[in-house]
Amino acid sequence: MNDMTPEGREERRGKLKGLGHARRRVEDARFTQGKGNYIDDINLSGMLFGDFVRSPHAHARITSIDASAALELPGVVAVLTADDLRPLDLHWMPTLAGDKQMVLADGKVLFQGQEVAFVVARDRYVAADAVDLVEIEYEELPVITDPFESLQSDVVLREDLDPEAPGSHGPRRHHNHIFLWEEGDKAATEQAIESSEVVAEEMIYYHRTHPCPLETCGSVASMDKVNGKLTLWGTFQAPHVVRTVASILSGIEEHNIRVISPDIGGGFGNKVGVYPGYVCSIVASIVTGSPVKWVEDRMENLMSTAFARDYWMKGRISATKDGRITGLHCHVTADHGAFDACADPTKFPAGFFHICTGSYDIPVAYVAVDGAYTNKAPGGVAYRCSFRVTEAAYMIERMIEVLAIELGMDAAELRARNFIREDQFPYQSALGWEYDSGDYHTAWNKALEAVNYEGLRREQAERVEAFNRGETRKLLGIGLTHFTEIVGAGPMKNCDILGMGMFDSCEIRIHPTGSAIVRLGTISQGQGHATTFAQILASEIGISSDSITVEEGDTDTAPYGLGTYGSRSTPVAGAAAAMAGRKIRAKAQMIAAYLLEVHEDDLEWDVDRFAVKGAPERFKTMAEIAFASYNQAIPGVEPGLEAVSYYDPPNMTYPFGAYICVMEIDVDTGEHEIRQFYALDDCGTRINPMVIEGQVHGGLTEALAIAMGQEIAYDDLGNIKTATLMDFFMPTSWETPTYTTAFTETPSPHHPIGAKGVGESPNVGGVPAFSNAVHDAFRPFGLRHSHMPHDHWRIWKVAHELGLHG
């Protein structure tokens, strides 16, 4: 067998199905056959069901709770209220943002749908009946749903907080104020803007929306009183953190708690936080001695477990007459709802919003974010994004368009003129980030050429003329975006959640016959980790990915990690996998040297084996080495072949991309049609192109939803108006366009395999691309900015206000 030739080597490499291979997914077999194991599929003997009594009011004092009728209903086991949780000090819980949140309403309610009592019954139907029988009397209080009003109002929302005392992110200037967070040089930025030739200013609202995975949140708690062990299954994107929080809250030692994330039916940030339902299922299991399941329904999901965005962003951007950006100033009023339950690293109350200088070389910038309480659901989760990066990307990509209007310049040209150049990387941004790598001009030019940008602009000009002549009622919009993300949180020097550094981990055990099991601190919710992490390792250790089992989500078996969100799995756990693989290889080299009777330095790694330098026919494959590690006494080498790596990333990674959306808009109906969508992503080294493409398709469709209709809306009384899928827009296959994907490949210089992460890019870049297409269609008629979501009615209104309806 001559597999040392270049062809032979390539054949061996192909068999590994490693990096770059469009490997079909190992997860699919169970999902396509209906054998997934999601939270609601878990069924334990004697299991009870929990269900919440929720507040119909957005702001009210509770004057009485009477559960007697509910308790008389056959099959009802318990009704928990804040008074039952108080002795355990569990009626409130800490949030990930340094605030605290009521588990069950303690004297008052602060948003519609807030959890007031937890009914436990023998089945879900009885529990639902009992919910209706719990009688609660409320005294209504004034409702505030607007963050600007909140920061002026005499109405105190959070009576539990001392208005004089600082919050966890510094001083609070008003009783409804949460924090002021600033970054950058304020004075220099103001000076730069004031002395500039051109200044554009705009208020940009990124509306409140919701991740809305098809599977809602839920948990099953089982307290084994005999052994003192608590097992908690749940929809957790960060199971290890949940274990630590559960231990701190309950006082149960951490070794007695086992947290398991089973299959998760989509997360998108919804399943990062800790919710009252999880806590109540644990308490109910402790109280009743039976396993207790809680699974929210869709209405509960949309009204209570986390929202995303809700940022009012006032941007000012300045430039020279020829379009060189000179400064960026941004003030955000952030509506956090009733409790600050943002899922952000501790030191970043506005997440990584200060990536808002985007892809541009902006010499000086300043951002300030004011957080405000309102009578809306708590949250502020990163809906398919890395901690407020979507808001930042939307702000800068809208501001660029507004500046282009101010300058009378083509928006593509304005971008190209201000991109950070390839030779400027690593690039130090004005707001303190070090961009690792990028080649924006190459990506941008490739995208413009692919869609024939010049041709599209000519067509658009002709269309405007035809419209003005009365020959058509449809306009053409060209939506441009060049985004830069910041993902892979993050370096322990500045990133933690509840004090836990945001490293991640990987543990590898090579079996004697040359296959392996790998466990990581992350948890897939559809990303396909069992497929792709095995590919990283196949290339590192020379064992076919088909012979590597990947496990995640069981805290009793997996090494501690911070979980999956913020596109951190590949940048952090993927790096841990590569580093653990290298430890395996280092030990394998020692074993191979012994077996081949040569010095280690005389060996070289060759795809799946160590071969003697200059004598490639003398080699030991990884499978042979693995067997030897278990059956030979090798001097100075421990038996077995295992490795663990805990990886603390030195920096974030900075994926980027160029998206172009071509949209037709019917001026009379406000309907839109997406004629073309071109998405070029650069996520560094590509692990599995098929999986990347799938991620891009999905993220773009979520972006389509957000930009074109999806919102969590409230009326003035704090009633949620979008709590079912009747009102909350989710595109079907009918509304969703066919996307064209493309890529450039600029590896991250600090990541072991150069990978950057891609899952969230299409949401981050997609929203401004769709939104800019709408704006671009109306630019010839004088539109500067209009708020999302661009549903038919709002687009019709834009056309109407521009006088296009005659």
What is the set of active-site residues? 237, 384-385, 760
Query: Considering beta carbons, is residue 302 or 402 the nearer one to other proteins?
Result: 302
Distant-in-sequence, close-in-space partners of 384: CB < 8 Å, separation ≥ 6: 211, 268, 269, 390, 699, 702, 759, 760, 763
Calpha distance 284→506 (Å, rounded): 34
The answer to whether the beta carbons of residues 524 and 27 sit under 8 Å apart is yes
The number of residues in the chain equals: 806
The answer to whether the beta carbons of residues 62 and 54 sit under 8 Å apart is no
Helix (H) or strand (E) holding 770: helix 761-778
Query: Considering beta carbons, is residue 27 or 340 the nearer one to other proteins?
Result: 27
Six-digit token string for 313:
């962003």
Six-digit token string for 369:
């974010």
Calpha distance 732→567 (Å, rounded): 25
Neighbours of 368 (CB within 10 A): 17
Question: What region does 584 belong to: left with phi over 0, alpha with psi -120 to 50, or beta?
Answer: alpha
> Least distance in Å: CB of 37 to other proteins?
8
Query: Considering beta carbons, is residue 212 or 431 the nearer one to other proteins?
Result: 212
Query: Considering beta carbons, is residue 631 or 733 the nearer one to other proteins?
Result: 733
> Least distance in Å: CB of 210 to other proteins?
11
The answer to whether the beta carbons of residues 414 and 408 sit under 8 Å apart is no
**Neighbouring C-alpha atoms within 13 Å toward the C-beta of 121:** 22
Calpha distance 248→251 (Å, rounded): 6
Calpha distance 536→89 (Å, rounded): 45
> Least distance in Å: CB of 490 to other proteins?
25
Six-digit token string for 337:
């709802």
Calpha distance 397→412 (Å, rounded): 11
Query: Considering beta carbons, is residue 213 or 438 the nearer one to other proteins?
Result: 213
Given the structure tokens 């020959």, which residue do they identify? 471
Contact residues toward other proteins (CB under 8 A) are: 24-25, 27-38, 40-41, 43, 124-126, 129, 212-216, 263-266, 268, 297-299, 525-528, 690-691, 693-702, 724-726, 730, 732-734, 736, 738-739
Question: How many angstroms separate the first and last alpha carbons of the chain?
Answer: 80
Query: Considering beta carbons, is residue 84 or 215 the nearer one to other proteins?
Result: 215
The answer to whether the beta carbons of residues 716 and 531 sit under 8 Å apart is no
> Least distance in Å: CB of 683 to other proteins?
17
Distant-in-sequence, close-in-space partners of 132: CB < 8 Å, separation ≥ 6: none
> Least distance in Å: CB of 128 to other proteins?
10
Alpha-carbon distance values, 408 to 176, 318, 503, 645 (Å): 42, 14, 47, 54
Query: Considering beta carbons, is residue 20 or 694 the nearer one to other proteins?
Result: 694
> Least distance in Å: CB of 268 to other proteins?
7
Query: Considering beta carbons, is residue 73 or 464 the nearer one to other proteins?
Result: 73
Calpha distance 762→335 (Å, rounded): 24
Closest CA to 206 of 382, 330, 392: 392
The string of DSSP codes covering 269-328 is TTTSS--HHHHHHHHHHHHHSS-EEEE--HHHHHHTS--EEEEEEEEEEEE-TTS-EEEE
> Least distance in Å: CB of 98 to other proteins?
30
> Three-class SS of residue 125?
helix
> Least distance in Å: CB of 236 to other proteins?
14
> Least distance in Å: CB of 43 to other proteins?
7
Query: Considering beta carbons, is residue 155 or 690 the nearer one to other proteins?
Result: 690
